[in-house]
C-alpha cells in the first residue's frame, strides 16, 4: 500500500503574506515575564551553554522554519528535503500572535544568533526565550 501524500499550508487569511526563514533552533528557556533587555544576553548565553552541554550527548539544535506574518509567528520543524510532509508528525513547535512577542535581541558579537522573548502565561507571569541561529548571518541581521 502506497502512502498518501499531499501538501497543505495553514494560512489564517487567504491573502495574507508570510515570510519563511530556515533557521536552527538552538534552544528555549522559560523566564520571568519581567525579564529586561539587559538580562537577555545572559539568558541567551545560558541557552547556548545548555545546548553545547547537551550536544556532547546528542544534537539538540533543530532545523526549523520560522514563519512570520501579520497575524502571527509560527515555528515548525523543517522536515528536510528527502522527507515528505506528514500532518501526524509535523506540528508547530510554537505559535503566537505578534503582540505576544515581547522582545527581540540580536547578538552583535555573533550576528548569526538572535533570540525572541514570547509572553506565554500572563497568570503565572512566565515568558519563554527562544534562541535561533541563522546559517546566513546577513539574513539574521537584516530581518531584525
- Judge whether 70 lies within some domain: yes
- Judge whether 72 lies within some domain: yes
Q: What is the pLDDT of residues 77-86, one digit of tens each?
A: 887 654 555 6
CATH at residue 106: 2.30.29.30
pTM of the model: 0.76
Whether residue 132 contacts residue 24, with contact meaning beta carbons closer than 8 Å, is answered with yes
- Judge whether 142 lies within some domain: no
Q: What is the pLDDT of residue 7?
A: 42
Residue ranges in the chain whose pLDDT is less than 70: 1-15, 55-61, 80-90, 121-122, 137-144
- Judge whether 144 lies within some domain: no
- Judge whether 96 lies within some domain: yes
Q: What is the pLDDT of residues 109-128, one digit of tens each?
A: 788 899 999 988 667 778 99
Q: Residue 125 is placed in which grid cell?
A: 507571569
Q: Which residues of 57-80 are buried (b: 16+ CB within 10 A; e: fewer)?
A: eeebbeebbbbbbeebbbbbbbee
DSSP-derived pairing of the beta strands 126-133 and 19-32: antiparallel
How many structural domains does the chain have?
1
The domain of 124 spans 18-51+59-134
- Judge whether 65 lies within some domain: yes
Amino acid at each position: 500500500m502506497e502512502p498518501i501524500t499531499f501538501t497543505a499550508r495553514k494560512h489564517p487569511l487567504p491573502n495574507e503574506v508570510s515570510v519563511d526563514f530556515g533557521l536552527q533552533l538552538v534552544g528555549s528557556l522559560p523566564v520571568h515575564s519581567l525579564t529586561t533587555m539587559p538580562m537577555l544576553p545572559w539568558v541567551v548565553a545560558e541557552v547556548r551553554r545548555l545546548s553545547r552541554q547537551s550536544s556532547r550527548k546528542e544534537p539538540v539544535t533543530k532545523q526549523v522554519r520560522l514563519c512570520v506574518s501579520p497575524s502571527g509567528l509560527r515555528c515548525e520543524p523543517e522536515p528536510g528535503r528527502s522527507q515528505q510532509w506528514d500532518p501526524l508528525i509535523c506540528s508547530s513547535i510554537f505559535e503566537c500572535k505578534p503582540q505576544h512577542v515581547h522582545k527581540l535581541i540580536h547578538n552583535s558579537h555573533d550576528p548569526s544568533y538572535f533570540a525572541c522573548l514570547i509572553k506565554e502565561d500572563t497568570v503565572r507571569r512566565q515568558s519563554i526565550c527562544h534562541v535561533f541561529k541563522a546559517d546566513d548571518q546577513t539574513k539574521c541581521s537584516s530581518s531584525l
